[in-house]
A and B are shown apart, each in its own frame.
Chain A
Amino acid sequence: MKVLVPIKRVIDYNVKVRVKADNSDVDLANTKMAINPFCEIAVEEAVRLKEAGTATEVIVVSIGDKSCQEQLRTALALGADRAIQIDTADSLDALNIAKLLQKIVEEEQPQLVILGKQSIDSDNNQTGQMLAALTGLPQGTFASEVKVEGDKVNVTREVDGGLQTVALNLPAIVTTDLRLNEPRYASLPNIMKAKRKPLAVKPVADFGLDLTARTKLVKVTPPAQRQAGIVVESVDELVEKLKNEAKVIS
C-alpha cells in the first residue's frame, strides 16, 4: 500500500511572527522555517504504517520554491522513501493546492493520503477536505487514531464533544490532530541517507491547471493588544474586584 503525505514549509512554531510596517503581509524575511507540526505528525504516521508492514512506500510532496526541498529532505530523513517538489514561486490558495495534489493522487494512486489538519501560518484547515472532495474519496479529519483493516480504514476523530470513530473505504484521506503520535527526531545517519533518496522536481506549469487566485489579501494588521491589568494582593481583593469592579460574579 502506497501512502502519500503532502507537507508544507511554514514558520517555526517557536517564532513569533511580525506584521510588515505597510500592513501588506507578515514579515518572513530571515525567519526560521520548519515542517508544519501537523504535517510532521502525518509523516510520522505514514512511516509507522510502513514499519508495521501495512504500507510499502511513503511518498512526500510539497508545493513551493526550491526552499521547500529542505523540508522534503527532513521528511526523507524521518523515513519517507521519495519526495516530489511541485515547483512554483507563487503562494497558492488551498483549493489550488488541492487541485495540484489531486493530479499527484491520480498519478501515484496511493491507498492513503495523510495530511496535517491545518498549517500554523494560514490556519485554514481546508486542504485535506478539498482534496477528498476533488478525488471523490472519503475523509477522516482530526485523527487521533488510524487503523487500516482490510479494504477499510478506521479513523478516530477529535470532535467537540469527545471522540468519533468512522470507517472509510480505501483509498481515503486522513488529516492529523495533535494526539495521533509523537514524531521522532531524525538520526544523523538517516539525515545522511536522506540526501541520496530520490527527489523529483515538477514545474507547476506541467500540470496544465488554471491556478488563478480566488482570494485577495487586502491587509494584515497586528491583533488588538490587551492591556495588562493589575496584580491583586489577596484572594479577598480578587473576589471583591470581580464582584464590584468587573461585575462578572455576584
Chain B
Amino acid sequence: MSILVIAEHDNATLKAETLKTVAAAQKIGGDVTLLVAGFNCQNAVDAAAKVNGVSKVLVADNAAYEHQLAENVSLLVTELAGDYEHILATALTTGKNFMPRVAALLDVAQISDIIDVESSDTFVRPIYAGNAIATVQSLDSKKVITVRTTGFDAVATDGNAEVVNLDTVTDAGTSSHVSDELTVSERPDLGAAGVVISGGRGMQNGDNFKLLDGIADKLGAAIGASRAAVDAGFVPNDMQVGQTGKIVAPDLYIAVGISGAIQHLAGMKDSKVIVAINKDPEAPIFQVADYGIVADLFDALPELEGKL
C-alpha cells in the first residue's frame, strides 16, 4: 500500500505534528510519501526529508500554495491522489480546511480526527466531544483521513528521503490571501508543549493571566485557557483548549481556576499528569486530576512560582 501524508508547515519550519501523522501512517502500514506544498519552503522540505519512515518527499513550491489556500491545495492533492490508497493530513486548522475538499473531489468519505488505527480500513475517533469513542470502517477504495496527533508518538528525524520537485501548479483562482494576524509568543506552541498551564473563569480577568507567566517561564510551558475564559473575553481564542479549541496531551497539564466542563476535558484529558488548582472542592476537574489542590489561586500561584 502507498500512503500520502500532507506536511503541516509554515514554509520555514515543519510542524512537529507532522511527525505524529507519519506515525499514524506507519501504523496503517505501507510506503509513505510526504507532500510539502508551499512557497519558498526549502527549509520545510529539508526537515521533511529527515523524517523517519518517509521514502519520498514531493515538493510543490509555488506562490499558489504560500498560504495553504484550500481551493488550491485540494486540487493539487486530488491530482496526486491516484497513486495512493490512503491520504493523511494533520487535524489542525490547515488540514481540517482542505482535506474534506479533497475527499469530496475524490467522491469518498473522510474519516476525521482519528486517534488510533485498527486496520487499513478501520479507525478509532472520538465523537460527542470525546464522550463516546467510535470505531469506523471506511467502505471506499481510497481513504481520506485527518489525524488527531495526541493519539500517536512522533517518529524520529534521522532519515534521508528522496526529494522530488513537482512542476504542476493548481490555482483555482477563486480566493486570495489578504492578511495574517498571528500571535507572537516566546513560548512553545500549545499543541507541541511538554507542559501546559491553563487559566479559566476563576482568573477573573485578562490581567490576572500574568500570574501564569512566571510558572510558565520556569517550566517552559505554553499558556492555554478554557472556553469560559475565552468567552468572557479574558484572552484570545487561539489559547482555547477544548473540544472547539486545541486538543493537547502534554506530560504535565496544570488547570488553574477551571471547573472542568465536558468540553474542556475533551481537549486535555489525554495529558499524562493533570494538576488542578481550584478553590471549589466539588469542581469536576478534580475527578480527572492526578493531583488537586483546593486553594485560592491568587495565593497558590505566587507560592508555586516561588517553589519551582
Contacts and interface: CB of A to CB of B under 8 A. Distances in A.
A229 B180 contact: no
B196 to A, nearest CB: 12
Contact of B293 (A94, A161, A231): A231
B84 to A, nearest CB: 18
B136 A141 contact: no
B288 A230 contact: no
Interface in B266-288: 269, 272-275, 281, 286-288
B93 interface: yes
Interface stretch (A54-62, A74-82, A125-133): A125-133
Contacts of A230: 290-292
B80 interface: no
B238 A161 contact: yes
Interface size class of A (residues with CB under 8 A): 35 or more
B109 A93 contact: yes
B308 A249 contact: yes
Given A228-B289, A238-B291, A179 B237 contact: yes
Contacts of A70: none
A123 B111 CA distance: 11
A178 B135 contact: no
B292 A232 contact: yes
Interface string A90-128: 000111001000000000000000000000111111111
Tell me the interface secondary structure of chain B in the complex.
mixed
B291 A232 contact: yes
Nearest to B106: A133
B298 interface: no
Given A125-B96, A141-B96, A239-B307, A166 B172 contact: no
Interface residues of B, number: 92
A137 B174 contact: yes
B1 interface: no
B100 A221 contact: no
Interface of B: 10, 67, 69-71, 74, 92-94, 96-105, 107-113, 122, 125-140, 172, 174-183, 189, 191, 195, 219, 227, 230-231, 236-238, 243-244, 246, 251-252, 262-263, 269, 272-275, 281, 286-295, 300, 303-304, 307-308
30 contacts: A17-B132, A120-B129, A120-B243, A123-B243, A125-B100, A129-B104, A133-B100, A158-B237, A160-B246, A161-B180, A161-B182, A164-B180, A165-B181, A166-B176, A166-B178, A177-B237, A178-B230, A178-B237, A178-B244, A179-B230, A214-B140, A215-B136, A216-B136, A218-B122, A221-B135, A226-B274, A231-B286, A231-B294, A232-B291, A248-B252
Interface of A: 11, 13, 16-17, 19, 26, 93-95, 98, 120-134, 136-139, 141-142, 144, 154, 157-169, 177-179, 213-223, 226, 228-236, 238-239, 241-242, 246, 248-249
Given A93-B109, A235-B293, 15 more contacts: A133-B101, A138-B71, A141-B96, A154-B178, A160-B191, A161-B180, A165-B178, A177-B237, A215-B137, A222-B131, A223-B133, A228-B289, A235-B303, A235-B304, A249-B195
